[in-house]
Amino acid sequence: MIGIGKAKEFQMIGIGKAKKVQMIGHKKTLAALGVAASLGLAATALAATPFSDGAFETPTAPSGSFTEYYAGNSFGPWHVDSGSIDLIDGGFWLGADGCTVSPCAGTHDQSLDMNGAAPGAISQSFDTTVGHQYTVTFWLSRNYANPGSVTLTVAADATGAPSAPYTFSGSNSSTSMGWLKEAYTFTASGATTKLSFSGDPNAGAVGPALDNVSIADMSPTSTNTPTNTSTPTPTATNTSTPTPTATATNTPTNTATNTLTATNTPTRTSTPVPPTATTTPSATPTTVSAGGGALGGSGAATPELGSGELLATGLLPALALLLYRRRRARR
């Protein structure tokens, strides 16, 4: 029994923990859904809301007639703040949308009579940039059933007060409304601006007619595009023709060396032959003694010359020849 009791106790503890974890999971899921919802609302609040439908084309009025809207009603992006207004079809009178000159007869589009059953006021809120100046352009006429003058006032909550009245006093008809182009300027003081138009409080049910409203931001929008004001430094481009560099090549040069080779060529030296003595025959024969002395024909003694002196003087050959001839003669 004790074991069964403990088992049940453990089982209950496990079930309790599981339920606790399940509850914690549910709380986290709800918290996440709450955060997502908050983010969704914040995203909706931060969504851009541009100005739109200044020509009053939404919704569509009955052909050739009009639709009346009262305070608290909305039509398109516009809201009726007070009184009532009439949304007029182009078949009832001609609207100003498409007009380019002032006055303009009009075209077949929709417009407003700012006095419905009573003078009315309308408004539209849209995104603006703090400090920027905006110009509101609109076209003014009147319900052609009113032969007098009518007025229209414009206001932007940024200014805190309505504009001076804009007046239409010209003649017109359903097919030639005589639309006039007007303008209103304001400076935005917040991220959202409310623009309002009010009918003529003295015109009864036939008041000023309004059409073709447009808004333009007149302040220049700065762009974070860096402007390069520096003067570019020209980059020198080497357009010169490269000069070839002479590379010295060690080419061996065969230099002829004039080597004088001494040739031992024997030089023949001519030994001068002594002149041959010419003997002039004399009447007196010359006698050569055995001792080598020459004897004159007169018998006088000639000085005796030795053999060396005879060779030196070159007389020896001549004497030899003379002796040879004498020997030949004796034979």
The verdict on 211 and 315 lying in the same domain is: no
Segments of the chain assigned E as strands? 66-70, 74-75, 78-82, 84-88, 111-113, 121-127, 133-142, 150-156, 166-168, 180-187, 192-198, 208-217, 287-288, 294-295
Q: Which residues contact 150 (CB under 8 A, 6 or more apart)?
A: 142, 143, 167, 168, 169, 200, 203, 207, 208
pLDDT of residue 233: 56
What is the band of 175 on the pLDDT scale with cuts at 50, 70, 90?
very high
The verdict on 207 and 309 lying in the same domain is: no
- Round to whole Å and give the CA distance between 144 and 171: 8
Say if 274 falls within a structural domain: no
| Residues linked to residue 294 through DSSP beta bridges, in sequence order | 288
- Round to whole Å and give the CA distance between 283 and 298: 10
Tell me the C-alpha to C-alpha distance, in Å, between residue 330 and each of 127, 323, 326: 179, 11, 6
The runs of H, that is alpha helices, within 175-223 are none
The candidate with the shortest Cα–Cα distance to 211, out of 65, 12, 18, 78, is 78
What is the band of 6 on the pLDDT scale with cuts at 50, 70, 90?
very low
Say if 52 falls within a structural domain: no
pLDDT of residue 229: 55
Say if 105 falls within a structural domain: yes
Q: Which residue has the higher pLDDT, 24 or 137?
A: 137
Which residue, of 191, 217, 243, is where some domain finishes?
A: 217
pLDDT of residue 287: 40
Say if 204 falls within a structural domain: yes
Which residue, of 217, 251, 270, is where some domain finishes?
A: 217
3-class SS at 255? coil
Say if 155 falls within a structural domain: yes
Say if 158 falls within a structural domain: yes
The verdict on 74 and 155 lying in the same domain is: yes
**Structural domains counted in the chain:** 2
- Round to whole Å and give the CA distance between 160 and 11: 72
pLDDT of residue 222: 62
| DSSP result, 224-247 | ------SPPPPPP---SPPPPPP-
- Round to whole Å and give the CA distance between 289 and 305: 11
Q: Which residue has the higher pLDDT, 47 or 198?
A: 198
What is the band of 82 on the pLDDT scale with cuts at 50, 70, 90?
very high
pLDDT mean across residues, the chain: 74
Q: Tokens for 278?
A: 């010419």
The verdict on 204 and 292 lying in the same domain is: no
Looking only at the bridges linking them, the beta strands covering 180-187 and 133-142 are antiparallel
- Round to whole Å and give the CA distance between 231 and 112: 59
Scored b (16 or more CB within 10 A) or e, 95-131 reads: bbbebeeebbebbebbbbbbbbebbbbbbbebebeee
Q: Tokens for 176?
A: 């030639």
Q: Domain of 162?
A: 66-217
- Round to whole Å and give the CA distance between 87 and 211: 10
Say if 59 falls within a structural domain: no
The verdict on 291 and 196 lying in the same domain is: no
Give tens-digit pLDDT for 93-133: 999 988 888 899 888 899 999 999 999 999 999 999 999 99
The verdict on 178 and 77 lying in the same domain is: yes
Say if 199 falls within a structural domain: yes
> The domain spanning residue 186 has which CATH number?
2.60.120.260
Which residue, of 174, 201, 217, is where some domain finishes?
A: 217
pLDDT of residue 79: 98
Tell me the C-alpha to C-alpha distance, in Å, between residue 3 and each of 11, 12, 14, 98: 12, 14, 16, 93
Residue 293 clears pLDDT 80, i.e. is over it? no
The verdict on 202 and 322 lying in the same domain is: no
